[in-house]
Structure formats: structure tokens, C-alpha cells
Amino acid sequence: MIGLEDAIVRFGARTIIDGLSFSVPVGRTLAILGPNGRGKTTTLKAMLGFQRLDTGQRIAPEIVGYVPQTGTSNQRYRAIDIAVMGRAAHLGLFGQPGSNDFAIAHSALEKAGAVRFADHFFDRLSGGERQLVLLARALATGSEALVLDEPAAALDLHNQERLLTLLNALRAPRDKAIVFTTHDPNHALTAADDALLMMPDGQPPLFGPVAETITPDHLERLYGVPMRVVELDGPSGETHRAVLPAFAGIRAA
């Protein structure tokens, strides 16, 4: 399980998080949504222990698999070397990864769809390819909690689809608590069980199942833009809900 309990975070006189409580048990996936500056990243950092809480507490296992927005390196590490870094917490201060750690890292690259990059240098990969390698590093930790900070932010539509398919594959065994931030409510509809909406103007955050939170009324309050829900036919004939801003498809004369 991972989450926050009665968490308050202040930056000077400004309160970023005010009494926030939620939890994500193993087997559930949570999407955190909200415009820039609403506290999504601060909430993530608080859960990870990167951000000090003024009051309240974090709920998290000892090790958490974390995927940052971007990954850079000044060293010529291979993708397999980046993935095996996820084993660091298991090795101790001066421990060196062994054959078993590299086997776990290789398996993580397979799960992340990045095994073909194993011997490629990380700094030569595209942004989308780096995200997959960083996801493999998080999986290699073996943690039951996986946290991703806007994993689709720098991806084109094709790679967003690949990422969401991958998130659903990781979600399917119901053996992890997964949390990701996003600007797109459709990502929550596609790959999450629950959503946390960081509401504006001092309104309390809204937390609950996706079917109850990702609605036009709540999203209009969240983003300040009229929203519509449409139904789309999937590739196998199934029906999916999608959310569009009301201006979508409008073209000036």
C-alpha cells in the first residue's frame, strides 16, 4: 500500500497540500490529475519521501519503484546497467550486482518492452525508449509499489498507446499498487481503477473510483473547460468512454 494520511505541505506562506488523505492498496491503480501548479508532483514527492511533510504521514513500503518524468546521464551506461541500478537497495552500501541481479534486470527490461535496448547506451535512446528503461529500473526493485511521474508527458500518440497498454499489462496481475500522474483524463479511463483530482480554489481533492470521478462535471471544475464524454468503438468491437473538451472538433470559419 502507498498513500498519504492527513498530509500538509507548505512552501512558505503557501499551502500546497492541505490535509490530504488517500491510499492505494496492492491490486489498485491510481491516476492523479490536475493542471500545473495544483500539487500533483508535490503529492508524488511526499509519497516517495522526497518532500518533507509539515504534518501527517506517508504510507509506503521500504522500497518504492519510481519512474521520473525524464532521465539523463552524463555517463555512458547501457540500458541493462540502468535497469540493474534498481537492485541498489538490495545490495548494501558497498555491494556489487551479481548474476542474479542482472537476471532480474533483464527480466524487468522484458516486462517493460525494452529488452532490445539492453546493450544500447542510455544517452543514445529516444525519450520514449528511456522511459521504458526507467520503468524497467523501477520494476527491478521488486517493490509492490510503482510510482510514475507523468510517464506519457513527452510521448507521441503511438508511444502513449504503447505505454498505456504496458501499464494495463502491469496492472493485470493485481500484485502492485500503481500510481501515476497525468494531464489527460483519458489515461485514467484507460489504465486506472481510481482517480485523485487536485481541485482548484481551495476545494478539497476528489478521490474515488474512475467511474465516479472522471465525469464532465468534475472535470469542468478541475480544468475550467466544458467537457464531454463520448463513446468510441474499440478495435475488437468493444465500447470505450473517452473525454473531450467541448472545443474539440470546432473549427473557426
* Pair type for strands 145-148 and 65-67: parallel
How far, in Å, are 87, 142, 169, 193 from residue 213 at the CA level?
Answer: 36, 31, 23, 10
pTM, two decimal places: 0.91
Q: With 0-12 CB in 10 A as exposed, 13-18 as middle and 19+ as buried, what is 88?
A: middle
Crossing angle for the helix pair 127-140 and 157-171, to the nearest 10 degrees:
10
Residue 206, pLDDT > 80, answer yes
Confidence of residue 118 (pLDDT cuts 50, 70, 90): very high
Cβ partners under 8 Å of residue 20, min gap 6 = 4, 6, 7, 8, 43, 56, 205
Cell matching residue 13:
506562506
Encode pLDDT of 145-196 as tens digits.
Answer: 999 999 988 788 888 888 899 999 999 999 999 999 999 999 999 999 999 9
State residue 162's pLDDT score: 86
Q: How confident is the model at residue 251 (pLDDT cuts 50, 70, 90)?
A: low
Q: How far is CA 220 from the centre of its chain?
A: 23
Predicted confidence (pLDDT) per residue in 89-108, tens digit: 898 777 899 999 999 999 99
Dist. CA 134–CA 190, nearest whole Å: 22
Task: List, in order of start, the domains of the chain with CATH numbers.
Answer: 1-64+143-214 (3.40.50.300), 73-138 (no CATH)
